[in-house]
Structure 1
Amino acid sequence: MGRRKEIEVEIRVLILGGTAEARALAAALTERDIPVVSSLAGRVARPRLPVGEVRVGGFGGPEGLAAWLAEHRIRAVVDATHPFAERISASAVAATRSAGVPLLRLERPGWEASPGDDWHWTSSLTEAAELLPELGGRVFLTTGRQGLPTFAHLDDLWFLIRCVDPPEPPLPKHHELLLNRGPYEVDGEAGLLRTRRIEVLVTKDSGGSMTAAKLVAARRLGLPVVLVRRPAPAGAPRTVTTVPAVLAWLPRAA
């Protein structure tokens, strides 16, 4: 037991975060006195901060990240970013390979359809926008603020747009903006769908429980859901789905 504690304390971990899983991992490592730095991209104005040391902002690409890892004597990297954060995940793979630092991907499982769901899968926001006119004229759009220009040309549709921070134009011509963040409850989501007379929900396959209530609400009301598939994996050597799995991996990464 003493030897295990000694090994763990020697590890200095970088968490590429911004997710609930990343915050849970930072808390678990801090409880075990394992030095940890959580890195946030800085795209959200008021992010939920994890416990422990936090840095905000980019690294300057894979080369900058590799240099940062060496400078700060990082012994292990856990990529716990959002499933759609393609750029930083790709940078993590390249940087850790260059620096010779072990990398683990912590990613929540994607959503799975249940009986009664009317799901329409697409491979991109562009495909989702093309599909919408066939499914309904009043849209609940929860794909994040950065992809909103993809839907800006759909002048015949009305959008309820929900995101954390105010988006920049272009936006759909007919819309209502709702600034909010999860977790959400099913009854609240169902009430929102009813009062706004929503006919179709559009979202990304983010997975997890914080925003899954909208899917249950759509099922209850018999509404179609357009889901954007996750991008292809960035190429991390291994992916796990739970914090305990990360804790089991860390001593072997030393």
Structure 2
Amino acid sequence: MSGTNGRIAVVTGAARGIGAAVARRLGTDGFAVAVLDLDEDACAPVVRDITEGGGRALAVGVDVADEKAVKDAVARVAEELGPPTTLVNNAGILRDNLLFKMSVDEWDSVMDVHLRGSFLMSRAVQRFMTEAKWGRIVSLSSTSALGNRGQANYAAAKAGLQGFTKTLAIELGKFGVTANAVAPGFIETDMTAATAARMGVDFEDLKKAAVTQIPVGRTGTPDDVAHAVSFLVSEEAGFVSGQVLYVAGGPRG
């Protein structure tokens, strides 16, 4: 996308899956990319892919639910890559269970990573955006925000991110900052494979069952989500804000 050269992007949960695909795509788009994940070493392959492609990237280990860790990580990005003006809140975990069996820890841990983490990261990075009078925030929601059996915690967190996104769009718009959410449907990742294992279902069988409910007739890939994020963080998407884009192979929402 035009206008992105020299801009600094931060992608959380970027060591694998959707986050890794987004980080690689933004590197291709001309962003310098801070690749954040809980395990800094796990970010190395993504950083290597970006740098070998001629881009700039930095691996940073951070627990997005830890206020001090987030502050330190963003300060490091600003010092080593430059002031970040693009943020993709992708870090997430699953702690699925039916309501009557769900523990308080399973509830809290999901809320901490998805909601608290997105809040802390957005709050830390917005200063650079408002100073630059330009910014892009994209948070990863999910079709689970519409309700999904065994995911009361995850669904509530992903729905919460939609309200969070719309509020950021209202508050930050006057500074040239847009905020949007991408809500993937069935995407082939380690996380969905783990869901299949939890359900006691073969992953291939789960994918086949999912396809029967998807109008385009296939499951999604991390690159499908990365393409959507690439558009929303582009210069050309400056009049798109406060939106939830379902990347699910058919109508949702």
| TM-score normalised by L of structure 2 | 0.44
Q: When you count helix as a share of all residues, which structure comes out higher?
A: 2
Q: When you count strand as a share of all residues, which structure comes out higher?
A: 1
Q: Tell me: higher relative CO, structure 1 or 2? Use CA pairs within 8 A at least 6 residues apart.
A: 1
